[in-house]
Amino acid sequence: MTDLVPASGTVHWVGAGLSTGSGLARLCETAGRVRLWHRTEERAAAALAERGLIGRAEPRAYTLPALTAELAPGDVVVSMLPAPEHAPLLAACVARRAHFACSSYVSDAVLEQVPAAAGAGLVVLTEAGLDPGIDHLFAHSLVARAREAIGDGTAASYRLTSYCGGVPAEPNDFRYRFSWAPGGVLGALRSPARYIEDGVETTAVRPWEATRRHTVEGEAFEVYPNRDSLPFVAQYGLPPEWKPRTFVRGTLRLEGWLRAWEAVFDELKRGDDQRIAALARELAARYPTTDADRDRVVLAVSLDVQGTDGQTWTGGYLLDLVGDEEESAMARCVSRPLALGVGHILDCTLPPGLSRAAETAARSAEWLRELALDGVEFTLRVSR
């Protein structure tokens, strides 16, 4: 294995949008030097002032050439930019021998560069936010606990569901407020979802049409599948002797969401890109998350295993947080695990190459302990 490039202690946090929360402040405590890159130096300084970080991080005006010019070997670049911009940033990191981190799903364009990054001794940390991120930690932990209880060689069937959503803490008629790019919200609904239901691989071309009722701690929600769940069967380390009855990763919404969004779905069915883009802007203006609003994040991951020998095991994690005056729940849940992961790049405990959050059960358990100490509260319930 190529030797890891030692971390320099300098972190470049690129972007200061809605998901840039107290994780940035945590890095200001642990990193040797932090630079916040934003559209202009003035806006970067304003973002630091808003978070009480003046003097603790350096404001910078972001352009890729400007960032690249300041990169040194062992620096860490944290991208809070839209996913399509990750690959060019990673290319700059590889060229300058800097590590890379983001909270987004790993894209094909990023995957193509992982061999070069690994060969250069660099860490590429992805999927280290809320969903994806904390959901991975919960799943790894549940699978490890079930494997210990049931046994890898035991024939069994299982049901794994992982649902996450950012919703209004005080429900409105639309059953939603936009806390991230509205175009991204609508775009995700236009992407087919692949999952396992009743033991069969299933594709929902229009994911909202697979919406169903889902109860969490006695409260009714609506959930639908999102993206492609199937690769995560291997990623979570489920034994091949265990056969999935259900395996789905999806999105959680307030009860009544499906009916409230009927007009939106009609537009999505028509498929007019210009009209959908205009609709995204209209909805964002009509249902924004304002400073007076409080958001709520709900992440529920559960695993139920039934062995053919009669053994059963059931476990579930629940994270249910409401934002406050200082920080939204979404910003806290995205930025703190990301900062935790960057901390492990800084202490040189992540290996070169790709890491999707914590890749093993042992590492996931460590991250969960650290998140709990850092104020991200969640509960675990297990029964046999």
Q: What is d(CA 7, CA 345) in angstroms, rounded to the nearest whole number?
A: 7
Decide if 131 is catalytic: yes
> Beta strands 193-197 and 200-204: pairing type?
antiparallel
Q: What is d(CA 41, CA 159) in angstroms, rounded to the nearest whole number?
A: 49
HSE, side-chain direction, 13 A CA sphere, residue 2 = 15
| Residue whose token pair is 């799903």 | 105
DSSP-based three-state secondary structure for 60:
strand
Residue 104, judged by CB atoms within 10 A of its CB (0-12, 13-18, 19+), counts as buried
Amino acid in position 301 = V
Out of 75, 108, 131, 266, the active site residue is 131
Q: What is d(CA 1, CA 67) in angstroms, rounded to the nearest whole number?
A: 29
Q: What is d(CA 26, CA 67) in angstroms, rounded to the nearest whole number?
A: 22
Please answer whether residues 159 and 244 qualify as being in contact, where contact means their C-beta atoms are separated by less than 8 angstroms. Answer: yes
- Closest by CA position to 167, among listed 111, 103, 216, 102: 216
Q: Tokens for 320?
A: 């249910």
Residue burial 14-48, b: 16+ Cβ < 10 Å; e: rest: bbbebbbbbbbbbbbeebeebbbbbeeeeebbebb
* Residue 306: φ, ψ to 5°: -125, 115
Please answer whether residues 98 and 74 qualify as being in contact, where contact means their C-beta atoms are separated by less than 8 angstroms. Answer: yes
**Where is 187: in which H helix or E strand?**
helix 182-189
> Which residues participate in catalysis according to the annotation?
131
